[in-house]
Structure formats: C-alpha cells, structure tokens
Amino acid sequence: MSVTATAGTAPAASLELKTPPRLKGGLPWIGHTVEFAKDPVGLLQRAYDECGRVAQFKLAGKNVNVFVGPEAHESLFRHPDEVLNPTEAYKMMIPVFGKGVVYDTTHERMMEQLHMLHPALRNKRMRSYTEIIAEETQLMMEDWGDEGEFEACDFFGVLTSYTSSRCFLGPEFRNEMSEEFAHLYVDLEGGIVPIAYINAYLPIPAFRKRDKARKRLGEMVSTIIARRRERGTVGEDFIQTLMESTYSDGTTLTDHEITGILIANMFAGHHTSSVTTAWSLIELLRHPEHYEKACTEVRGRFGDGEPYSFNAMRDIVQTEWAIKEALRIHPPLFMLFRTATQDCEVYGHLVKKGEWVCVSPIVAHREDAVFPDALRYDPDRYGPGREEDRRPFAYVSFGGGRHKCLGNAFALLQMKVILSAMLNRYDFELAGDEIATDFGRVVLGPKPPIRVRYRKRGA
Ligand code: HEM
C-alpha cells in the first residue's frame, strides 16, 4: 500500500509502507483488552519482545500501534496534530477542566491556552517557587522529632498538593482554602474512572460530585481574582500569569477559563511529580552508593544552613541524575496516545485512519541499544561523557515534539528541592522490602504503603 508521507516538514513523497506486525493472541473484537487490563506493561513488553520496534494489538475493537526507539518516536512526534491527534484520548477530561477549555476548544485556542503559562515557568518565577517548595517541605517535617516512620506515597502526595496549590493558585488559596481544596480535588479525580471514556455525563454520583467540585473551585478562583483586582495585589503564581494573559485576538481570559487551565496543569503535574519523588527516594535507598553520593552533595551545599535557592539548586547535579534515572525506569505516564485522523506513515509503516498510535516510555527506556544495561539503576549515565538522555527522542518520560511536557523544568526543580531539604535534615532507610508498582492507576507509581524510617542527623 502506498500513501503520501506527511511527517514533519519532509517533502511529500509516495512510499511503499509496511503493515505493523500484529501481536499474537487476543480474541475477536475485544482483542488484547483482557491482557491489557491485567498487566498493561507486560502486554507492551511482550509486543516489543515478539514484534520489535513496531507492533500492533487490539483494544476494544481499536487497533493500537506501538512505536519504540528514538527514530520511531521522532517519526510519530513530528506529525502535525491534524494527522495524529492528541486530544481524542483526553475527551473524558472535559467536565473536569470545563467547557471551552483545553480539549474542548479549537486546536489553536488549546495551544494558546496551554502556552499562556510560559511566563509562569520562567527562571524569575522559578526563584520564588524554589523558596516556597523548600518552606513547604520543611513544614511537612516540622513535627517529625528525632526519629520515626512515614508512608512515602501519602507524604509526597500531600506535600506536592501544597506546593502546587501555592505555586499555581497563590498564598490565599494555600492559607485559607487548603482543606476544602483537598476535598474538592479528590472529588474531581473521582470523576476520572474508566466509564468516563464511554460517557462522561452519565447521571452517577461520581460525576455529580465532580461537577459540584468543579463549580465550587471556579467560585474559589473567582474570589481570589476579584480580591486581587480590588486590592491591586499582584502574585508570583500561575493564577496571576493567567489573569494578565490575552489571546492573540486581544481578549482576556474568563474566570472559568483561568480555573480550567489551572486544573489542567494541576492534573498534569501533581501525581506525576508526587510518584516520581517517591520513586526517587525509594531508588536512592535501594542503592546505598548513590544515596551516599546524593547526601554528600546536598549536605556539602546546604549543611551549614545555606538557603535552598534557585541558584544553589543548579549545583545539585548528582541528585538530579538520581531523579532522572528514577523517572527513566518508572515513567509515570507509560503510554502516550494519538489518534490517526487519516491514513498516514509512521516510521515506514502504514497507520490507518481511526487507529491509535502510542509511544511507551517504560518499554523504550528498557532498550539496551539506547540505554546500555538498561535495567540497571545508574544515575551516572547522565554524567559528563555519557549523557545518555541527550540523544533526541531517546528519553521520553516528558514526551517529545510539540506536546512535550510544559512543566518539566518546574517538576525537576520541585523534586530536587524536596529531596535536598529532606536529605539535608534526616537519614532515611526503607522499613519494608516489598516495593511494587501500582498498575491500578493511570499514572503509575509505587504501590502503597511504602514505609520509610527517618532519623535526624546528629541526633
Ligand atoms: C515528573 C513530573 C511530570 C511528568 C513525568 C510529566 C510528563 C508529561 C508527558 C509525558 C507529557 C506529554 C503527554 C503526551 O505527549 O501525550 C506531558 C505534557 C504536559 N505536561 Fe507534564 N509531566 C510532569 C509534570 C508536569 C508539571 C509540574 C506540569 C505543570 C506545571 C505539567 C504540565 C504539562 C502540560 C500542560 C502538558 C501538555 C502539553 C501539551 O499538550 O502541549 N507537567 N507531561
């Protein structure tokens, strides 16, 4: 079969295309759905082991084509959204983010809305976020005493919800509305259930709670906006950036749009950061040699009470490599989907209109040809002379191409500050041996409980 190549900026050409090799097994129509539901990563790995860098399997009547490896990723990520559409898989988020926001608007408007946060992610702002994150981390440890135990999944979940509510929504929110916000957030998340893929507007309790929470959150954000405008206060946070933003046609954002964009970013950034911080600490504690290196680095820099400033964080490289390595081995978003809106070519293969294509960071990061001795935890692979993440489209924990994560610098900074503030104050060890991945969630993280023992340094 031949189609016109549309990838990237390459000139159109007529190509003879291969059909993606079909994975064995599966039942008529439902295909590999049962295997996927039981063990999605196992299925993806089997597809790679049996078919190689391109494989096709079937989920509930849909053909899914998985592409593995830097060149295959590049070919997929370079397609324009008009050909490989990223929004189809996220339609169920519309009631969470709100009508007319992100996935419920035109492509141009969606891109404008997402990119409005750029000023909030510049270095100038990052300086104040660094202080906020360090302060929140220290507050979380305030009642710890000299020694004890904590549950890592819960701890990092709560901590990152405080840091993001303060950096995104400002001090008013964090100080006055934190508790209510925590409940609303749970109700919003409760609306992200598999049935929402089929119909996100069914009259069921989970969706009613979701809608009530979305409405109340909108009111809370409007209160802050009104108060800031009335008093002329200016914040150093995401909400302020959106209040000052305009579309290319000169119009400003409504409170409803501001709320929706903030929620979209919180959903993109909260769990991903929380589980990655947990994995980073777990992996360090499982690898004493690297734990020692991170401690030496952090304590050498901050041991004498130097503040956790944005500039000082630039010197924290060993710990950053440890985070990157945890993120390579445990990418929380383990499948990144697009839908083909027309027949097209990806990495020399024919993808038919209506089929799904997917990049799987977790499988891609296990290729020895790209990351030598890939299953080994080795933070030094990012160090001078090796820099294994430099190869374009090899390291895809943050995705790639035009939809690459907008918050990656913020996320790395946040995780670095949290770990620095913790390692500087306490020694840690795992209190149990059982560490497993929780495959029951859309964002993969360690399976709770993860008990960690702490002891104050010098106590
Ligand atoms: C460890 C933490 C994080 C990980 C692993 C992560 C991962 C990702 C990935 C893989 C994508 C691409 C999705 C795709 O191609 O379909 C993405 C997109 C995105 N991320 Fe993150 N993310 C993290 C933190 C954050 C944070 C903190 C924010 C907000 C400050 C954020 C905001 C976004 C947004 C807005 C997009 C959509 C970009 C677009 O569609 O153009 N992320 N993220």
- pLDDT tens digits, 241-279: 999 999 999 999 999 999 999 999 998 999 999 999 999
Q: Using a 6 Å cutoff on CB, does residue 398 contact ligand 1?
A: yes
pLDDT for the residue 301:
97
CA dist., res. 84 & res. 98, Å (int): 24
As beta bridge partners, residue 31 has 27, 59
309-323 burial: b if 16+ Cβ within 10 Å, else e: ebeebeebebbbbbb
Check if 70 has its Cβ closer than 6 Å to any atom of ligand 1: no
Task: State the CATH number of the domain containing residue 73.
Answer: 1.10.630.10
Least confident of 9-23, 33-47, 321-335: 9-23
User: Which residue's CA is the nearest one to ligand 1's atom 9?
Assistant: 398
pLDDT level of residue 311 (50, 70, 90 thresholds): very high
- In the three-class reduction of DSSP (H, G, I as helix; E, B as strand; rest coil), residue 296 is classed as helix
Instruction: List strands edge to edge, sheet with 451-456.
Output: 147-151, 451-456, 426-430
Given a cut of 60, whether residue 280 has pLDDT beyond it is yes
Checking if the pLDDT of 6 tops 70, the result is no
Rounded Cα–Cα distance for residues 63 and 80 (Å): 20
Give the closest residue (by CA) to ligand 1 atom 19.
405
Residue 443 is predicted with a pLDDT of 87
Question: Is 421 a residue whose pLDDT tops 70?
Answer: yes
In percent, how much of the chain has pLDDT > 70?
97
Among the residue ranges 4-8, 99-103, 167-171, 211-215, the one predicted with the least confidence is 4-8
Instruction: State whether the beta carbon of 410 lies less than 6 angstroms from ligand 1.
Output: yes
Is the CB of residue 265 below 6 angstroms from any atom belonging to ligand 1?
yes
Looking at residues 393-412, what average pLDDT do you find? 97
Check if 209 has its Cβ closer than 6 Å to any atom of ligand 1.
Answer: no
C-alpha of residue 270 to centroid of ligand 1, in Å: 10
Residue scoring higher pLDDT (86 or 194) = 86
Q: Give CA separation, 68 vs 190, 249, 318, 393, in Å.
A: 32, 40, 28, 10
Q: Distance between CA atoms of 189 and 213, rounded to whole angstroms?
A: 10
Helix (H, G, I), strand (E, B) or coil at 340: strand
263 lines ligand 1 (CB under 6 A): no
Kindly report which listed range (2-16, 205-219, 341-355) carries the lowest average pLDDT score.
2-16
Rounded (to 5) percent helix, strand, coil in the chain: 50, 15, 35
Residue 126, pLDDT score: 94
Distance 405 CA to ligand 1 centre (A): 4
Owner of token pair 């135990």:
149
| Rounded average pLDDT over 226-255 | 93
Q: Let me know: does 346 contact 67? Beta carbons within 8 Å.
A: yes
pLDDT of residue 58: 95
Residue with tokens 């919180």: 266
Compute the mean pLDDT over every residue in the chain, rounded to the nearest whole number.
Answer: 92
Q: How confident is the model at residue 174 (pLDDT cuts 50, 70, 90)?
A: confident
Does ligand 1 come within 6 angstroms of the Cβ of 163? no
From 101, 110, 281, 408, mutation site for ligand 1 pocket: most ligand atoms within 8 A of C-beta: 408
Q: Measured in angstroms, how far is the CA atom of residue 100 from the centroid of ligand 1? A: 20
Other CB atoms closer than 10 Å to residue 409's CB: what's the count? 14
Look at residues 185, 195, 147 and name the one whose alpha carbon lies nearest to residue 164: 185
Most confident among 167-176, 188-197, 308-317 (mean pLDDT): 308-317
Which residue of 84, 357, 398 sits with most ligand 1 atoms within 8 Å of its CB, as the best mutation to test the pocket?
398
413 CA → ligand 1 middle, Å: 14
As to burial, measured by CB atoms within 10 angstroms (0-12 exposed, 13-18 middle, 19+ buried), residue 57 is buried
> What spacing in Å lies between the alpha carbon of 338 and ligand 1's midpoint?
15
On the question of pLDDT at 1 being above 70, the answer is no
pLDDT attached to residue 434: 87
Whether the per-residue pLDDT at 2 is higher than 50: the answer is no
How far apart are alpha carbons 331 and 336 in whole angstroms? Answer: 11
Output the residue whose Cα is nearest ligand 1's atom 11. 405
CB 215 within 8 A of CB 231: no
Structural domain count of the chain: 1
For 364, the domain range is 2-456
Q: Strands of 336-340's sheet, edge to edge?
A: 54-59, 62-67, 356-359, 336-340, 84-85
Look at residue 440 and tell me whether its pLDDT is greater than 80.
no
Ligand 1 atom 41, closest CA: 403
With a cut of 70, say whether residue 15 has pLDDT above it.
no
Give residue 276 CA to ligand 1 midpoint distance, Å.
13
d(C-alpha 436, C-alpha 270), whole Å: 21
CA distances from 397 to 177, 210, 265, 327, 410 (A): 33, 29, 17, 7, 14
Instruction: Find the mean pLDDT for residues 377-397.
Output: 97
